[in-house]
């Protein structure tokens, strides 16, 4: 890259040609404020509509101010980022934006973590002149099982639109209307539940205000714990421990597993369990299913569906149900770890406690907002009683802990309860892209080759590239593996399968970029994608620390099969741990339940 010379705020500097004024200024420590700009370098995602106009700067020789996020530097360019003309304009634009934004900060979901609020403070806006005569944009509040859209708070930064369209290729959110009535909305302003929305929550993850937030279930958790007639069981997903610390000011990637357990115990949960346990069970089922299909395939069965696709991610499940209903027989039928946990908890564990399932409340702590929807799916209920009663996000757990004066930094490390707190390193890495398939490979390798796997780390499956592929030597048989994170990438692999161009045996898909560590329920990354890498590294570290790193060696898992489930893919396992998928392009899916176990018939 060639270098060019420019002047920023009277300082002559040399910068790379092709960089923007915003980037160039950053080089010399000048942080120009931005609202709509977002560059997730590690994921190759950029949102740059140049729409908020907060980042405007003065460029010598130009009549108007230039948006620094989208204006490239030229040789000899003279830029002022901070003279009074710039500051007055920036502040006036901010007053415009605030004049059309509700002022209910005190009870807002984003209070304290709102980019708009912070920017208003930074720019010193204290009053909006003439606010009393200004009308405000008002839109219908839209509540879905996972996401609330309060578009009164939309500032048209279009970040959600970029995530929903360019990254996820879902197309549920797009700018609509004109002028003052312009707002990001759904097609024909439908409710989110009536759209293709997968509830992946990437819109929530990037929304700078509270226009898009998760449905808050913290009140329900408090009510459940307060109810003395209930036994409240909590499970925590692997990605939560790698991110929860951020909510308490810890560096991204700081593992807080033990402190989180202590916090949950303080909050009053009766049994503190680990979703990792269920992840190990998932591998037993999914790995067995993979080997089953592979065996049939190698025996010459032409009808067997390969590649097999993972099915742990509810956003991904929603995606193929709405967008690829002709391919519902390809994914594994194994339920997600959240649901496997709930199912085992309300049968096996409830029996151990000698309580009725109705008297047990299963709370899950997830990095995800789609899990809220998944928990409410009819097929995961028995007589109307859901296997997982309440699903909260990492952020909601942090909220509850803060309400209870619990600081993760000062809590002691404690252990999960038994039996469903026992897990392996394979279960831990479920939380990052590539982790599920790596866990499955560890188990499938040993079951297939009947040999002990010495080096359990399949580094070729790790990384942040959107689509990855690797071949694993199964003692002479080449297992071809594909990995996609982000639904746009998943779409590419699905299209290849549909076109008969895919030669993979197994594909792992996670809806969110980075996998669960980048989920819509995680602490806000505020556009810093390096955070995701640190979280992923933390999970691999936890995996390394574990004595047992293969799912099928988890003693608690072995015991639950011995005592209760029988073998993987047994009839009971099918009933409790597997599911069916529905064509969501059709109205009213038909629910297949209980004894109509299609897998066994």
Partner 1 sequence: MSKINQHILTCGGTGCRASESKELAQNLRDEIASNPAIEGSVKVVECGCFGFCEKGPIVKMLPDNTFYTQVKPTNAKEIIEEHIVKGRKIENLLYTDPVTKEVIDESKNMGFYKKQHRIALRNCGFVDPENIGEYIAREGYEALGRAIFEQEPQVIIDTIKASGLRGRGGGGFPTGLKWEFTKNAKGDQKYVVCNADEGDPGAFMDRSILEGDPHSIIEAMAICAYAIGANEGLVYIRAEYPLAIDRLKIAIKQAEETGLLGDNILGSDFSFKITIKYGAGAFVCGEETALIQSMEGLRGEPNLKPPFPAESGYFQKPTNVNNVETLANIPVILNKGADWYASMGTEKSKGTKVFALAGKINNVGLIEVPMGTTLREVIFDIGGGIKDGKKFKAVQTGGPSGGCLTEEHLDTPIDFDNLLAIGSMMGSGGMVVLDEDDCMVSMAQFYLEFTVEESCGKCAPCRIGNKRLHETLEKITQGKGVMEDLHQLRNMSEVIKETSLCGLGQTSPNPVLSTLDNFWDEYVEHVEDKKCVAGQCKSMLRYVITEEDCVGCTACVRVCPTNAITGTKKKPHIINQDLCIKCGACMDKCSFDSILLIA
Residues that bind partner 1 (CB under 8 A): 49-54, 56, 63-65, 67, 70-72, 88-89, 92-93, 96-97, 99-100, 129-130, 133-135, 155-156, 174-183
CB of 462 to partner 1, least distance (A): 35
Told to judge if 368 belongs to the known catalytic residues of this protein, a careful annotator would answer: no
CB closer to partner 1, 47 vs 579? 47
Determine contact, residues 278/340, Cβ cutoff 8 Å. Answer: yes
Told to judge if 379 belongs to the known catalytic residues of this protein, a careful annotator would answer: yes
Question: Active-site residue among 19, 105, 358, 379?
Answer: 379
Determine contact, residues 350/211, Cβ cutoff 8 Å. Answer: no
Count of helices and strands (H, E) across the chain: 20, 22
Told to judge if 371 belongs to the known catalytic residues of this protein, a careful annotator would answer: yes
Question: Active-site residue among 285, 374, 396, 422?
Answer: 374
CB closer to partner 1, 90 vs 485? 90
Question: Active-site residue among 69, 312, 368, 512?
Answer: 312
CB of 148 to partner 1, least distance (A): 23
Told to judge if 289 belongs to the known catalytic residues of this protein, a careful annotator would answer: yes
Beta bridge partner(s), residue 192? none
Q: Which helix (H) or strand (E) holds 186?
A: none
Instruction: Indicate the angle between helix axes 115-122 and 84-99, nearest 10 degrees.
Output: 140
CB of 134 to partner 1, least distance (A): 6
CB closer to partner 1, 27 vs 131? 131
Question: Active-site residue among 214, 247, 286, 438?
Answer: 286
CB closer to partner 1, 101 vs 357? 101
Question: Active-site residue among 68, 144, 185, 332?
Answer: 332
CB closer to partner 1, 158 vs 468? 158
CB of 110 to partner 1, least distance (A): 19
Coil, helix or strand at residue 278? helix
CB of 476 to partner 1, least distance (A): 48
CB of 177 to partner 1, least distance (A): 7
Separation between Cα atoms, residue 574 and residue 170, nearest integer Å: 31
Nearest to 84 by CA among 99, 67, 68, 65: 65
Q: Exposure string (b/e) for 471-510, b if CB count within 10 Å is 16 or more?
A: ebebeeeebbbbbbbbbbbbbebbebbeeeebebbbbbbb
Question: Active-site residue among 516, 533, 542, 551?
Answer: 516
Determine contact, residues 288/428, Cβ cutoff 8 Å. Answer: no
Rounded to 5°, the CA angle 257-207-529 comes to 55
Calculate the alpha carbon distances from 560 to 270, 418, 422, 446 in Å: 20, 12, 12, 20
Told to judge if 114 belongs to the known catalytic residues of this protein, a careful annotator would answer: no
CB closer to partner 1, 70 vs 600? 70
Told to judge if 286 belongs to the known catalytic residues of this protein, a careful annotator would answer: yes
Told to judge if 312 belongs to the known catalytic residues of this protein, a careful annotator would answer: yes
Catalogue the active-site residues: 286, 289, 312, 332, 371, 374, 379, 516
């Amino acid at each position: 890259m060639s270098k060019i010379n420019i002047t920023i705020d009277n300082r002559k500097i040399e910068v790379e040609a092709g960089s923007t004024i915003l980037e160039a200024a950053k080089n010399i420590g000048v942080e120009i404020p931005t609202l709509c700009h977002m560059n997730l370098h590690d994921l190759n995602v950029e949102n740059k509509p140049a729409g908020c106009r907060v980042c405007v700067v003065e460029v010598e020789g130009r009549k108007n101010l230039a948006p620094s996020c989208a204006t490239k530097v030229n040789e000899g360019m003279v830029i002022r980022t901070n003279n009074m003309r710039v500051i007055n304009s920036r502040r006036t634009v901010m007053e415009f934006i605030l004049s059309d934004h509700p002022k209910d900060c005190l009870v807002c979901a984003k209070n304290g973590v709102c980019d708009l609020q912070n920017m208003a403070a930074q720019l010193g806006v204290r009053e909006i002149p003439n606010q009393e005569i200004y009308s405000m944009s008002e839109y219908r509040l839209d509540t879905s099982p996972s996401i609330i859209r309060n578009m009164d708070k939309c500032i048209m930064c279009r970040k959600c639109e970029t995530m929903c369209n360019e990254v996820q290729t879902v197309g549920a959110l797009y700018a609509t209307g004109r002028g003052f009535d312009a707002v990001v909305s759904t097609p024909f302003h439908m409710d989110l539940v009536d759209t293709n929305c997968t509830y992946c929550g990437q819109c929530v993850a990037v929304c700078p205000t509270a226009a898009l937030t998760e449905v808050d279930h913290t009140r329900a958790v408090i009510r459940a714990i307060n109810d003395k007639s209930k036994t409240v069981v909590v499970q925590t997903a692997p990605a939560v421990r790698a991110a929860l610390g951020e909510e308490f000011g810890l560096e991204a990637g700081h593992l807080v597993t033990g402190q989180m357990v202590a916090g949950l115990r303080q909050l009053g949960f009766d049994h503190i369990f680990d979703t990792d346990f269920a992840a190990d069970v998932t591998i037993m089922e999914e790995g067995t299913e993979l080997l089953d299909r592979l065996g049939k395939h190698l025996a010459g069965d032409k009808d067997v569906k390969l590649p097999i696709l993972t099915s742990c991610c509810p956003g991904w499940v929603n995606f193929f149900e709405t967008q690829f209903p002709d391919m519902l027989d390809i994914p594994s039928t194994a339920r997600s770890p959240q649901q496997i946990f709930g199912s085992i908890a309300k049968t096996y564990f409830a029996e151990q406690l000698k309580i009725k399932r109705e008297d047990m409340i299963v709370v899950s702590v997830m990095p995800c907002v789609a899990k809220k929807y998944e928990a409410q799916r009819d097929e995961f209920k028995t007589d109307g009683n859901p296997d997982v009663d309440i699903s909260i996000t990492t952020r909601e757990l942090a909220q509850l802990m803060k309400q209870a004066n619990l600081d993760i930094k000062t809590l002691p490390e404690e252990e999960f309860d038994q039996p469903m707190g026992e897990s392996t390193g394979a279960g831990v890495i479920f939380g990052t892209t590539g982790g599920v398939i790596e866990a499955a490979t560890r188990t499938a390798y040993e079951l297939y080759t009947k040999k002990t796997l010495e080096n359990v780390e399949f580094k070729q499956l790790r990384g942040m590239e959107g689509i990855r592929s690797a071949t694993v030597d199964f003692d002479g048989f080449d297992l071809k593996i594909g990995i996609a994170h982000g639904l746009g990438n998943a779409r590419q692999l699905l299209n290849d399968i549909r076109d008969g161009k895919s030669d993979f045996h197994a594909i792992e898909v996670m809806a969110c970029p980075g996998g669960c560590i980048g989920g819509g329920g995680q602490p806000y990354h505020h556009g810093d994608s390096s955070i995701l890498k640190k979280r992923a590294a933390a999970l691999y570290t936890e995996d390394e620390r574990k004595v047992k790193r293969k799912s099928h060696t988890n003693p608690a898992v072995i015991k639950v099969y011995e005592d209760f489930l029988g073998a993987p893919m047994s009839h009971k396992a099918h009933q409790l741990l597997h599911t069916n998928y529905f064509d969501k392009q059709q109205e009213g899916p038909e629910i297949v339940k209980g004894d109509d176990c299609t897998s066994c018939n």
